[in-house]
Amino acid sequence: MNLNMDSVESLVAQIQGLSGNLSDINHLHNLLKQSEELLHSESTRLISSLSQLDPSIHSLGYLYFLKAILSAPVSKEEANGLFVSLARFINSCVVEQIHLAPEKFIFICRWFKNQVILLEAPIRGVAPMLTAVRKLQVSSEQLTALHPDFLLLCVLAKCYKTGISILEDDIFEVDQPRDFFLYCYYGGMICIGQKQFGKALELLHNVVTAPMSTLNAIAVEAYKKYILVSLIRLGQFSASFPKHTSSVAQRNLKTFSQPYLELANSYGTGKISELETFVQTNMEKFESDNNLGLVKQVVSSMYKRNIQRLTQTYLTLSLQDIANTVQLSSSKEAEMHVLQMIEDGEIYATINQKDGMVRFLEDPEQYKTCAMIEYIDSSMKRLAGRGRDMILMILIVFLRDSTYETSTIEFCE
């Protein structure tokens, strides 16, 4: 049977007439599934038919048409027009209708994501993809296949705050392990961008320690960043893995991360000159991994930690003495570091601009009020429970799908 324009028009009429209630929509869904092969064979003739459908009413039919159109090659001009239609569809489609064909919705949303990346305008895709994630979710606890795509756009567009909004959800439902790995990896990058290093460590830790039968590229890159963020956040790195880490990860991750482990060893000496020399020697490697910016933050954190150590010994110290002690080039550079640390709440101090003296103060928060104790207790319980539930959840998914393997990943700086 050949699909001619009359049959396309007939199908459009069916979509228009059967999109009103659930019973009709279920019947329409059956018709669309029966017509799917025919739609694909005439995909180039469907674009003009989209104008006869309202995505906010005829969502299911519109979705089937889009899937058929995008499954075939489209010209640059057609792609530009479809880009606008897709954004409009994502924003206005009816949730109940797209849930009847979620795999098609995922397909068109990924085409949309790829298009904004191709246009080098990832920011144009952030808001529509966030809407797509929320519409695809059955509950806020579900990790969808679109979560990683949305987070990738946030990383590329540097829309870190928007990305953080979705990372605040507690996730307990995962379908595909790869989605979980990428969600945690890109989520960690977003938290790094926001300098929320504690949260970044948690997410990267999930990647490194999650069950895996073969080593994957995501875990390797996550481990490199995990080392760097540990140094920035904690001032140290332990090469020991938790007991629940897969044997594959324990055997192989260090092999692919030697320069980073050596960086951690150099950091541990506390000698800034040695650290800077090591970074300079291995700069090409760090740059090719898109981690040079993070490595520079590691170096900066050593300066900060050395300044913090001074607060434990001295009550007052000149900016020049600080510069000499922590090996900064000038008192002006020491002042910049001290001011930044004061602003970030990393030290408590005042600077006398007349004589260049720094007075170190005690932390005004004594951590002994009832409110602070309750906050610390609730945070510890929540993090402990969340970490346990995350590992259990990914283990269940892994055992269900033991064929999981990933060797490629979209990376970005």
| pLDDT digits 0-9 by tens, 334-374 | 999 999 999 988 899 999 988 999 999 987 766 566 766 77
For residue 366, what pLDDT is reported?
60
pLDDT for residue 406 is more than 50: no
pTM of the model: 0.83
The helices-and-strands tally (H runs, E runs) of the chain is 20, 5
Averaged pLDDT for residues 383-390 = 60
CA distance 138 to 134: 8
Distance of alpha carbon 139 from alpha carbon 133, whole angstroms: 11
Give residue-wise pLDDT tens across range 252-276: 999 999 999 999 999 999 899 999 9
pLDDT bracket for residue 43 (50, 70, 90): confident
Choose the weakest-confidence range: 86-95, 100-109, 223-232, 397-406. 397-406
pLDDT band at 385 (very low <50, low <70, confident <90, very high): low
Residue 286, C-beta contacts closer than 8 angstroms, at least 6 positions apart: 259, 279, 292, 295
Helix axes 292-311, 319-326, angle to 10 degrees: 120
**Residue labelled with tokens 């319980």:** 381
Quote the pLDDT of residue 407: 44
* Cα 391 to Cα 246, 249, 315, distances in angstroms: 11, 15, 46
The residue behind tokens 């005690």 is: 362
Answer yes or no: is pLDDT of 239 > 80.
yes
Average pLDDT score over residue span 387-403: 57
Write the burial class of residue 342 (CB in 10 Å: 0-12 exposed, 13-18 middle, 19+ buried).
Answer: middle
Cβ-based neighbours of 391, under 8 Å, separated by 6 or more: 206, 209, 210, 244
Report the pLDDT averaged over residues 168-195: 94
**Residue linked to tokens 């900016």:** 319
| Local structure of 158: helix, strand or coil | coil
Please determine, for residue 409, whether its predicted confidence score (pLDDT) is greater than 80.
Answer: no
Average pLDDT rounded to a whole number, residues 24-48: 90
Q: Output the pLDDT for position 242.
A: 92
Chain centroid offset of residue 230 CA: 18
pLDDT number for residue 367? 59
**How confident is residue 396, by pLDDT bands cut at 50, 70 and 90?**
low
- Supply the mean pLDDT for the chain: 89
The burial class, CB within 10 Å (0-12 / 13-18 / 19+), for 213 is middle
Bridge-based pairing of strands 173-174 and 142-143 is parallel
| Closest to 267 measured CA to CA, from 301, 317, 217 | 301
Please state, as a whole number, how many other Cβ atoms lie within 10 Å of the Cβ of residue 131: 17
Whether the predicted pLDDT of 217 surpasses 80:
yes
CA 324 to the chain's CA centroid: 40
Half-sphere exposure at residue 231, Cβ-oriented, CA atoms within 13 angstroms: 28
The whole-number pLDDT of residue 393 equals 62
Q: How far apart are CA 294 and CA 42, in angstroms?
A: 50
CB 350 within 8 A of CB 315: no
Q: Report residue 37's pLDDT band, with 50, 70 and 90 as the boundaries.
A: confident
pLDDT digits (tens, 9 = 90+) for 280-317: 999 999 999 999 999 999 999 999 999 998 998 999 99
Q: How far is residue 216's CA from residue 401's CA, in Å, rounded to a whole number?
A: 15
**Poorest-pLDDT segment among 3-12, 113-122, 188-197, 210-219:** 3-12
Write down the pLDDT at residue 8. Answer: 86
CA 240/CA 324 separation, integer angstroms: 35
